[in-house]
Structure 1
Amino acid sequence: MASRSRHSGRPRTSRGRLPLWLGELPVCETDHLESSGVSRRDLLGLLGVAGAAAAVAPILTADPAMAAASDLALDPKTQPADPVNYAPPTNLAADSQAKDAALSWIDRQSESIIGLNDRIWEFAEPSLAEWNSSWAEAQFLAANGFTIKWGAGGMPTAFVATFSNGSGKPVIGFSGEYDALPGLSQEKGNPKHSPLVYNHDPYAPTYGFGHGCGHNALGAAAAAAAAATAAAMKARNLDGTLKFFGSTAEEQLVGKTVAVKAGVYKGLDAFVDWHPATNNSTSWDSSNAMYSIAFHFLGTDGHGGSPLATRPTQDAVSAMSMLTEFLRESHQAHTARAHYAIRQTGQAPNVFPTLSSIWYFAREGSPARAKILMDRIVKCAEAAAMATGTRMEHRIVAGTWNKLGNKRGTELMHANMTQIGAPKFSAADQAFGKALQRSNGTGETGFSETISELRPPASVFMGGGSTDVADISWQVPTIQMGTAHQPGGTKNHSWHHTATAAAHPGHVTMLMAAKYLAGTTIDLLTQPKVVGEMKDEFERRTKGIEWKSMLPDDYELPLYEPPKWFLERTGQKWPPKGVTWPPRRIVSTETAPDLGPALPPQNMPPME
């Protein structure tokens, strides 16, 4: 039976002592750290803070990007992070008339904010083609005093909205996203799976796009926070500049990585961000770096009834997926994630496709580690092509760093969340949340109505998701938080989340997110000391590390051609500067393989 730590309430190992993996770990490796059940607080309590830091420091210094994101990078004199007795500061969030003005603005404008949220939810547009969604978000900001510049980083649905007052300093950035996910269409407010868009096909029915990651709420809340802060700046005559970055294709981790490489985010003093979640919390933890690569196999035609002398591309993607599964045993650390989608292959059993495509994400704790994993995946693709006699092409679609947290900025956000208070849900909201949990087979606890305790992150990053906000975090001190936009136990990227994203409980937490962002931004505008501390921490974390985009110099933007009306409204020309359109076609030119001496003729009629 596992005992419980008096500090964390988390299980210890059964013997209550330091697990063997820490003492046995080679200095240059972080691959084989196992999930021991011992929390960071337990570990540091057992070793003593200094002893634990000394134990893990050599591990992390072998990977500078992971070390920078850990608390070992903090200055213990000015930014101590005592993981055993840590208590967040309580005096960072100031009471001010400007903050009251911003929060009141959100209350008064709640109907228009909810309207923006629901319009984007209804559009449910895919990554790189958010024509209506990006336009709606930009129009909301323009109506509230922001100037709009389209085509940020060469991406048609990316824009920068700017508001400035007084001296224009400091400069605070917001992030807006608005892309939906395939297959996650769902009726809003329905706790049972019922796709809003169902495409009938007797062989392969499909569901439409849906906001199963809540980006409709993410963009609406961020836009509301920016507009509310601008209104407070005018009312209370606050100096500063707000920059709202409308970002395309976050679900594919494309938009921000491209824009950062193009210098779009330069000149910021701080950046505030949020994402829908299952609780109300903030942290300065890290994320996985990630490479995204699309693989194309080209072969020859074939017939299911006479398959000889075919270079089968469907076999190639199947072989590649099998080979990459074998990486998990001996070539993939617990911090790593590798997953794929077969995007294009055979459409009928008796037609061998000449082109099949499979798309991979490879995630690891740092860019260097992600590259090693993706290089192995490329080798699997080469082997699959060799085995099937097909030709393989691949291209990098995205590449993003691990996230760099900011402890002081996170403490400011947590203080504002505590000051403003947790979201409150009606009995009907909670009944809906519990029904969603019931349909998912998880405990029926409903939506969270508490602000989670702020705790230091683990000393050694244990793996997880990725975000293209990470590339921004290496340019400017970045703060992130989440609100309980879906009930606990339900998954992100699920129809359960789509169901809440335009329902009443989703509206509640979306508006609270706007308040947390606005309150924190007002403090950034009025507390230069805190901004200075955030910058000092940022400089310490990034000292000696040269950020370089993971996108190659010859990177080709993954674009769709915008409709004519969108180009006219946004004043853009097609194609963007530096883009060749239409792009090079990927076409098979392969010939049938040699089977050796011909067999005796078979006088059989053709079959279907």
Structure 2
Amino acid sequence: MCDLHDQHEHAHEAAMAAGPVLSRRRIMQMLGAAGVTTAVMAADADPAMAAASEAADAATDDGYEAPKGLAQDGPAKQAALGWIDGNSGRITGLNAEIWDHAELSLREWNSSLAEAGFLEKAGFDVEFGTAGFPTAFTATFRHGSGGPVLGFSGEYDALPGLSQNKGVGHHNPREYIHDPFAPGYGPGHGCGHSALGTAAAAAAAAVAQTAKKHRLPVTVKFFGSTAEEALIGKTYAVSKGVYDGLDAFLDWHPSTANATGWGTTTAMTAVTFTFLGVAGHGGTPLGNKSALDAAVMMATMSEFLREENLAPSGRLHWVINNGGDIPNVTPEIAEISYYVREGSPARVKVLLDKVIAVSEAAAKASQTTVGHRITSACWNQLPSKSFAELLHENMTQIGPPAFTDEAHALAKELQESLGLPAAGMHDKVGALTPPNPVFMGGGSTDVADISWNVPTVSMGAALAPIGTKMHTWSTAACAAAAPGQAAVLAAAKYLASTAVDLLTQPERLKAIKAEFAERTKGLEWKTALPEGYEPPMYEPPAWFLKKTGQKWPPNNITWPPKRVVSHEKFSSLGPELTPQK
């Protein structure tokens, strides 16, 4: 998520699984199989995975009970929660507005402006063009001096093909694209980022207003992030120092449950392969070189990696995003994009090299040429046990989202439409449990790169019905309807109350930072993006540049980008055959 990126699950969703959790030691004793032992021990050999799993080992070996007494009520916290209640109409209205725009990654022109405007009204100074991305912005609020610097994460990009009418319990695209040869659907918020960015902005604003009212020194920084679904915005921004100087970072994501935890995520590299051949008439194909043949061969061969080269912690998925237009023209250019995921950047690299080798074999077999470009790359997330414990107690004290009968009715209608049990919305706060000691893979997030540079916590609030998935039209149906609007307000309260605890209880922040220092001891984060990487961008409309005070192009990209043009020659069939006499 996420994503063009996957089911877009964050570390908090690992906490949704119920039942006992065994220690690594116990699993090895019980199973002892070479494959399982290798997977379990891999963390010990991989510094990135070891740092992410350290706290899980202690908790599962010793038994775990969530501590109490961390989250403290008081006038400041009540002021933050009261601000959210008092501005609930503006908050849910912002969610609905961004949902309506449903803008794709790197092109969130109206969505970013709406979110930035909300924060400006709350007293934040806004600057667009963070890390060179036109639709990324940084909003800053300062009160007093010497206080902590707290960061909030806002996303607002939609996903292609997931258009759905709001609050409708069966598949009913809001935007249907008529094409007699290739019908489709418009974009939609099938990952709930309209709600994600809104709740984070509301939390940041609530903390700012509370700090001002109760004279609490703080700097609140809100990062409006572009292209999370492609995992581009934050990974590059982190490498440019955008998140330097923060003391803590608070993150959330729409989910099917209300939960937090300290599990990790998968590291990921996104890569696009471009095959170049020679076009020609389909009726006289001899000598043509089909780039689509090459892409299909690559897709087929990469599937054979699964049995012997893809561990349970890995994921490999692809889409042919350019395969030609009409059967009667041999495709001269074809592109296939992969998301390569594993438990750490080092393991991603091993799997990625095998995928690249497959592309070279497909090019050789099809007599085409191939090149590849990495569009994004992120680490696995470094979780924070102490941060998750504080957030979880705040979630427990506030309670689950206030789902109405309308929200449950929509959820049940969607579940019935999808062939799932009609269980409605998750109306509890999940127990805080250690992550599974054997990492079995999952989603990826560009928040992960932030987590290696500043203590970070993530949580989920139920926006989609139990049993459904992110990156679906059913999530889009809920995101700005009754379920999503309840989730927005609850998520804003969870984040804001936890942030207030960091202000009123300095010892909590001190403990979180101490855990972070211990986990990262001897391990240096380095971006997984390749040397010389230039992020992909779209040229903004002139009105957007004028409104945000930006110039085009930014100085970190080459514009116009290099054209991709085939210069291949027709394939030879050998000497002409001598006519028979």
Query: What's the TM-score bracket when you normalise by the shorter of the two chains?
Result: over 0.9
- Residue equivalent to 2:5: none
In structure 2, C-alpha distance between the alignment counterparts of 1:503 and 1:25, rounded to whole Å: 45
Which secondary structure state, in structure 2, belongs to the residue aligned with residue 303 of structure 1?
Answer: coil
Matched, 1:413 2:396: no
Matched, 1:24 2:34: yes
In structure 1, C-alpha distance between the alignment counterparts of 2:27 and 2:221, rounded to whole Å: 50
Q: Which deviations, in whole Å up to 9, do the C-alpha atoms of 1:363-421 show, x marking residues without a partner?
A: 00000001111111111111111110111111110000000000000000001001111
In structure 2, C-alpha distance between the alignment counterparts of 1:532 and 1:317, rounded to whole Å: 52
- Residue equivalent to 1:65: 48
- 8 Å CA contact retained: 1:66, 1:461: no
Which secondary structure state, in structure 2, belongs to the residue aligned with residue 81 of structure 1?
Answer: helix
Which secondary structure state, in structure 1, belongs to the residue aligned with residue 365 of structure 2?
Answer: helix
Which secondary structure state, in structure 1, belongs to the residue aligned with residue 163 of structure 2?
Answer: coil
- Residue equivalent to 1:381: 359
- Residue equivalent to 1:310: 288
- 8 Å CA contact retained: 2:132, 2:555: yes
Relative to 1, partners in 2 of residues 1:133 and 1:171: Cα closer, same or farther, differing over 3 Å? same
- Residue equivalent to 1:433: 411
Q: Work out which structure has the larger RCO, using CA pairs closer than 8 Å and 6 or more positions apart in sequence.
A: 2
In structure 1, C-alpha distance between the alignment counterparts of 2:460 and 2:150, rounded to whole Å: 19
Relative to 1, partners in 2 of residues 1:10 and 1:90: Cα closer, same or farther, differing over 3 Å? closer
Relative to 1, partners in 2 of residues 1:23 and 1:599: Cα closer, same or farther, differing over 3 Å? closer
Q: Tell me how far 1:21 sits from its aligned partner.
A: 4.4
Matches within 5 A, 1:350-499: 350-499=328-477
Poorly superposed stretches of 4+, deviation over 3 Å: 7-12, 16-27, 82-85
Letter in 2 for 1:529: E
In structure 1, C-alpha distance between the alignment counterparts of 2:575 and 2:27, rounded to whole Å: 70
Relative to 1, partners in 2 of residues 1:22 and 1:305: Cα closer, same or farther, differing over 3 Å? same
- 8 Å CA contact retained: 1:257, 1:549: yes
Identity of aligned residues (%): 54
In structure 2, C-alpha distance between the alignment counterparts of 1:531 and 1:518, rounded to whole Å: 15
- Residue equivalent to 1:148: 126
Letter in 2 for 1:386: K
Give structure 2 stretches of 5+ with no counterpart. Answer: 1-16
Which secondary structure state, in structure 2, belongs to the residue aligned with residue 70 of structure 1?
Answer: helix
Q: Tell me how far 1:9 sits from its aligned partner.
A: 3.7
In structure 1, C-alpha distance between the alignment counterparts of 2:300 and 2:502, rounded to whole Å: 50
In structure 2, C-alpha distance between the alignment counterparts of 1:488 and 1:430, rounded to whole Å: 10
Q: Tell me how far 1:578 sits from its aligned partner.
A: 3.0
Letter in 2 for 1:189: G
Query: Paired residue for 2:193, among 204, 208, 215?
Result: 215
- 8 Å CA contact retained: 1:260, 1:471: yes
Matched, 1:341 2:319: yes
- Residue equivalent to 1:77: none
In structure 2, C-alpha distance between the alignment counterparts of 1:25 and 1:536, rounded to whole Å: 35
Letter in 2 for 1:511: L
- What's the RMSD between the two structures over aligned residues? 1.8
Matched, 1:514 2:492: yes
Matches within 5 A, 1:247-258: 247-258=225-236
- 8 Å CA contact retained: 2:56, 2:437: no
- Residue equivalent to 2:159: 181
- 8 Å CA contact retained: 2:189, 2:475: yes
Matches within 5 A, 1:84-233: 85-233=63-211
Q: Tell me how far 1:428 sits from its aligned partner.
A: 2.1
Relative to 1, partners in 2 of residues 1:186 and 1:8: Cα closer, same or farther, differing over 3 Å? closer
- 8 Å CA contact retained: 1:67, 1:73: no
Length, aligned pairs only: 560
Q: Tell me how far 1:443 sits from its aligned partner.
A: 1.1
- 8 Å CA contact retained: 2:56, 2:434: no
Which secondary structure state, in structure 1, belongs to the residue aligned with residue 246 of structure 2?
Answer: coil
Which secondary structure state, in structure 2, belongs to the residue aligned with residue 88 of structure 1?
Answer: coil
- 8 Å CA contact retained: 1:344, 1:355: yes
In structure 2, C-alpha distance between the alignment counterparts of 1:70 and 1:427, rounded to whole Å: 40
In structure 2, C-alpha distance between the alignment counterparts of 1:581 and 1:293, rounded to whole Å: 21
Q: Tell me how far 1:20 sits from its aligned partner.
A: 5.9
In structure 1, C-alpha distance between the alignment counterparts of 2:190 and 2:162, rounded to whole Å: 6
Relative to 1, partners in 2 of residues 1:597 and 1:23: Cα closer, same or farther, differing over 3 Å? closer
Letter in 2 for 1:490: T
- 8 Å CA contact retained: 1:73, 1:541: no
Letter in 2 for 1:521: A
In structure 2, C-alpha distance between the alignment counterparts of 1:594 and 1:260, rounded to whole Å: 50
Q: Which deviations, in whole Å up to 9, do the C-alpha atoms of 1:416-449 show, x marking residues without a partner?
A: 0011111222222211111111111111110011
Q: Which moved more, 1:357-366 or 1:552-561?
A: 552-561
Relative to 1, partners in 2 of residues 1:391 and 1:23: Cα closer, same or farther, differing over 3 Å? closer
- Residue equivalent to 1:39: none
In structure 1, C-alpha distance between the alignment counterparts of 2:64 and 2:197, rounded to whole Å: 33
In structure 2, C-alpha distance between the alignment counterparts of 1:21 and 1:372, rounded to whole Å: 27
Which secondary structure state, in structure 2, belongs to the residue aligned with residue 226 of structure 1?
Answer: helix
Relative to 1, partners in 2 of residues 1:325 and 1:121: Cα closer, same or farther, differing over 3 Å? same
Which secondary structure state, in structure 2, belongs to the residue aligned with residue 351 of structure 1?
Answer: coil
Q: Tell me how far 1:225 sits from its aligned partner.
A: 0.5
- 8 Å CA contact retained: 1:83, 1:455: no
In structure 1, C-alpha distance between the alignment counterparts of 2:18 and 2:201, rounded to whole Å: 37
Letter in 1 for 2:452: W
Letter in 2 for 1:60: A
- Residue equivalent to 1:551: 529
Query: Paired residue for 2:548, among 570, 574, 585?
Result: 570
Letter in 1 for 2:54: D
Q: Which moved more, 1:427-436 or 1:461-470?
A: 427-436
Q: Tell me how far 1:81 sits from its aligned partner.
A: 2.5
In structure 1, C-alpha distance between the alignment counterparts of 2:545 and 2:21, rounded to whole Å: 57
- 8 Å CA contact retained: 2:21, 2:436: no
Q: TM-score with structure 2 length normalisation?
A: 0.94
Matched, 1:236 2:214: yes
Letter in 1 for 2:421: G
- 8 Å CA contact retained: 2:259, 2:432: yes
- 8 Å CA contact retained: 1:71, 1:459: no
Which secondary structure state, in structure 2, belongs to the residue aligned with residue 192 of structure 1?
Answer: coil
